[in-house]
Structure 1
């Protein structure tokens, strides 16, 4: 019998080296591995898709159920692009003027959105599913081909999950009137003309544009955007809506009754436009009576448990996305669909339409997973659609500031922070001091300065946690906190600024600003860091936190605690 080899002591350090060598040989995990890694150093590398915020399969229940079916899917950056974004963070900032913030619909000029293929009545459900998958794959491949050939200069991050597009198709087929909700800060960047043409010309349905978050921008900007839309879409009604809690200029909350009154004014205007479209084919008197009762109420209970009112609300969620043959005002019921980009405030609008909280609200894109119907009255129902990012030429760094891409999923946040810093004077607004290691301001310098100011330090070396600081600033901008409001203007706004400042519609817009003009303004040199509490939650009224950002900054202020004021500061970076 051969003699066995004597066992030798195996140190922990040697074991770690062995695991590291094995890991390097095996390569990165499968979910991070690109489909064609050999193209990573090429300028024409095909981009691979990645599901965001994936959830593990639960131990109980149906294990075969795909819990990640409705997750957001976007393109994944290559290693070369990630390194390039890191280097850009150290470059000095370029000063951008207000003229550079003028935007129109040119980003959507060369793009259409995917629509459902024609329905064949003899096709089975499996055949329909294969047809839609084949069509969507060809649609995405065609966009990538145009980008590689130079036909389109830049391709934005857009939704790559077919299941989410099926939700939109279902809502478009199911609804009689479509509410296209846009964030007025980026109105032209959130209104695809192809969607409007499809609703009006192909589906022959009615549409209403809702300018949400009008309390975040100057009233003259809202008037200018409304004039721009009236000029380009003359038959499209526009309704103003404010979804934030009111604040005085001192930053104190005015109470829920003021917020209720302001939001109900927008709700009533939506009702009037729907009534004009319906023209008596559906009895909307019960809806009008409900709105008047809500207007007379002194306080809105926004904390009411949804489970206690589900029977009354008749909320139904459905994942059936098969083609639906539309019947106008079926059974005498008017169906109103709510569509738009992520983070435009669809859930807040639905809660205001119902008069109480019926759907949870979150600043995390992809929070609403699939469409659901909510009855306002027995003859009026809402149809909520998940937020969708449409294909366009919008820069990816700008999409993060629009709220289209989850900030927590950013590989490198410096490109978006750089864009924000070139439009807003962050050192002045946040009262930052240039760190000793830097000669001039850059995205990384701003991140380090904010990390020192807020105490965002790494655990072991106590270095400034610049990633956490950059993400925190981006979240404040998305929520409109501490006057970090990035707003864009329609073309020609600067040349006609005096015209908009004296426009007769300013009084109407100021009615939505929710600011007590009688109170004196707060001091501008007040330390903004004292306003934000480290114990605040990171999301608004978010009841389904399992789908939220996994590495979100827990010290982020909520929108209720730090609601923005209507008087914004848009000072540009100046040479000291």
Structure 2
């Protein structure tokens, strides 16, 4: 008689329960009861193992919300929205990143330690770091942040290797993506830091100018560069609809984003001086300005060196062998991979909207003298509200257990019914987060499969994805923006907005003086007549857009 028992009848209901149990076991990779919270740690981008490799070594890990919290938030979704004043959209990075809430740094080591000893020391340090956070007053206010030691090790490696650190942030949420503790750490290491305000085509020009002014004043020595991987010549059709929703339709064949790449080259050139020859980078920009590439083509992995994370020793030598090493750090979904592809002029890094898509430390040689080190997306410890983190793309929308709190945050700061041109599902005058989702589900025809009820969750996910992509555009302001809005809207620096976005151009880059070399701009894709008038920039033929590159 065989050892295995006879198979018993297995109902469809039992099979469904079995699959749900397997899914739960895969999601909850790690459970902890340390500290007072007793919260579970969940992996939000689990992938099945392939070929005996642990594909979840670099999985994003966050604390899981309790069922009581979820129940309370779902009940709150039925309450009416309370619109906030414009001044409530002003954010101060130091409020969300207190000085005593620093990110984990690599513990001290020496060459007498073996790799196993160093590994054990780092595990011990990280555990003590998490426990120390749980003992602070911030613990209950803290939002999602990275709990995977392997991902932090990748950051440590990039910080050790780089000569210049690029911190890439989404300009819409710049104040909530810029950890001052990272800036302070880089300055203490006697290294340089460049802040890249990415996706500048999504917000008004005055807001970008204001963010640059605020950050450069509060962080001495910080360089600010504006960038967009969607300049006008890489888009087709209108940039907004009649209701004000932003639209960005990428062309199939695209060109290198030479404006932003030029700004980055200038900033690096000022920092390295004659110690590194950046002529090859400058030549690359000129040569690939009008060369088109297919954005959907597969990445040219021959240009990329994947390096497994390790705990080996690395002694930094600035500009070693005449090579400039630029480290790229930023939160998930901030556009690091898209920026690299835009700088290269072709696709060399895979791009995805899923947070944590880039899992490995990657080294890409831009030219023989310039290499980029891409760190996986990393969420720093902060007091940033969770709804904002979801809108920033730090947490996968598909795995969000309760979307209504984020819809409330969005609906209290934007007039969603007018933007979406939808009617109240119950013909009422008062909107709640649930009403917003039901109204959108009704308009789009989102119905559940069995009962044909309004699919509220699908509608909520759709709205959050539109916000993440910038179609529904919420952008936050620096402190004092409302009081000084007039001065920002008439600033000379607005001339750089149209140039970087490449909707218009000028025969030469404006303001080639020292002050202008640090300035740049962004754009308002809503194409408001008021905004275009305030910029004072005259439309000039696109054919002259890159004339400035010939002066280098």
User: What is the TM-score normalised by the length of structure 2?
Assistant: 0.82
Deviations 1:250-290 (A, max 9, x none): 669898699736x2111111111111221211222111111
Distance across 2 between alignment mates of 1:317 and 1:21: 40
2:186 aligns with 199
1:572 aligns with none
Q: Does 1:403 find its partner at 2:393?
A: yes
- 8 Å CA contact 2:253–2:295 kept in 1: the answer is no
2:326 aligns with 336
Distance across 2 between alignment mates of 1:191 and 1:322: 28
Deviations 1:114-164 (A, max 9, x none): 000001211111111110011001111111121xxx355611110000000
- 8 Å CA contact 2:73–2:402 kept in 1: the answer is yes
What value does the CA root-mean-square deviation take over the aligned residues? 3.2
1:556 aligns with none
Structure 1 residues 513 and 38: alpha-carbon distance in aligned structure 2, compared to 1, 3 A threshold: closer
Distance across 1 between alignment mates of 2:275 and 2:376: 29
Structure 1 residues 171 and 30: alpha-carbon distance in aligned structure 2, compared to 1, 3 A threshold: closer
1:384 to partner: Cα distance: 0.7
Deviations 1:275-306 (A, max 9, x none): 122121122211111111122x2534434443
2:538 aligns with none
- 8 Å CA contact 1:223–1:509 kept in 2: the answer is no
Structure 1 residues 503 and 24: alpha-carbon distance in aligned structure 2, compared to 1, 3 A threshold: closer
Name which of 284, 305, 324 aligns with 2:278. 284
2:153 aligns with 166
User: Unaligned regions of 5+ residues in structure 2, if any?
Assistant: 1-7, 241-246, 506-522, 530-552
1:190 aligns with 177
Name which of 71, 74, 87 aligns with 1:83. 71
1:427 aligns with 417
Structure 1 residues 461 and 227: alpha-carbon distance in aligned structure 2, compared to 1, 3 A threshold: same
Q: Does 1:565 find its partner at 2:525?
A: yes
Structure 1 residues 329 and 159: alpha-carbon distance in aligned structure 2, compared to 1, 3 A threshold: same
- 8 Å CA contact 2:239–2:526 kept in 1: the answer is no
- Describe how 1:280-359 pairs up with structure 2 within 5 A: 280-295=274-289, 297-307=290-300, 310-311=301-302, 313=303, 315-359=305-349
> Could you say what secondary structure the match of 1:492 adopts?
coil
Distance across 1 between alignment mates of 2:249 and 2:125: 52
Name which of 110, 114, 118 aligns with 1:120. 110
Name which of 101, 118, 123 aligns with 1:111. 101
Q: Does 1:157 find its partner at 2:144?
A: yes
1:322 to partner: Cα distance: 2.5
- Describe how 1:2-13 pairs up with structure 2 within 5 A: none
1:239 aligns with 225
Structure 1 residues 222 and 257: alpha-carbon distance in aligned structure 2, compared to 1, 3 A threshold: farther
Structure 1 residues 18 and 317: alpha-carbon distance in aligned structure 2, compared to 1, 3 A threshold: closer
Deviations 1:378-422 (A, max 9, x none): 121111111100000111121101111111111110001110011
2:520 aligns with none
Name which of 44, 49, 54 aligns with 1:52. 44
- 8 Å CA contact 2:164–2:327 kept in 1: the answer is yes
Structure 1 residues 425 and 253: alpha-carbon distance in aligned structure 2, compared to 1, 3 A threshold: closer
Deviations 1:59-108 (A, max 9, x none): xx3x2x21111110001001111111111111110111111100011100
Deviations 1:10-65 (A, max 9, x none): 999xx78999999999xx858559958999xxxx632221111212233xx3x2x2
Distance across 2 between alignment mates of 1:356 and 1:23: 41
1:234 to partner: Cα distance: 3.0
> Could you say what secondary structure the match of 1:209 adopts?
strand
Distance across 1 between alignment mates of 2:236 and 2:296: 19
Deviations 1:497-545 (A, max 9, x none): 111111111121232344479xxxxxxxxxxxxxxxxxxxxxxxxxxxx
Distance across 2 between alignment mates of 1:279 and 1:443: 54
Name which of 398, 404, 415 aligns with 1:414. 404
2:134 aligns with 144
Q: Does 1:472 find its partner at 2:472?
A: no
Structure 1 residues 38 and 111: alpha-carbon distance in aligned structure 2, compared to 1, 3 A threshold: closer
Distance across 2 between alignment mates of 1:259 and 1:81: 46
Structure 1 residues 514 and 434: alpha-carbon distance in aligned structure 2, compared to 1, 3 A threshold: farther
Distance across 1 between alignment mates of 2:478 and 2:417: 27
Q: Does 1:493 find its partner at 2:487?
A: no
Structure 1 residues 92 and 286: alpha-carbon distance in aligned structure 2, compared to 1, 3 A threshold: same
Name which of 391, 395, 399 aligns with 2:381. 391
Distance across 2 between alignment mates of 1:246 and 1:34: 43
User: Unaligned regions of 5+ residues in structure 1, if any?
Assistant: 1-9, 518-562, 570-576
Distance across 2 between alignment mates of 1:360 and 1:509: 28
- 8 Å CA contact 1:167–1:321 kept in 2: the answer is no
2:509 aligns with none
Distance across 2 between alignment mates of 1:82 and 1:34: 20
2:255 aligns with 260
Distance across 2 between alignment mates of 1:254 and 1:365: 22
Structure 1 residues 138 and 37: alpha-carbon distance in aligned structure 2, compared to 1, 3 A threshold: closer
Name which of 260, 269, 274 aligns with 2:263. 269
> Could you say what secondary structure the match of 1:178 adopts?
strand
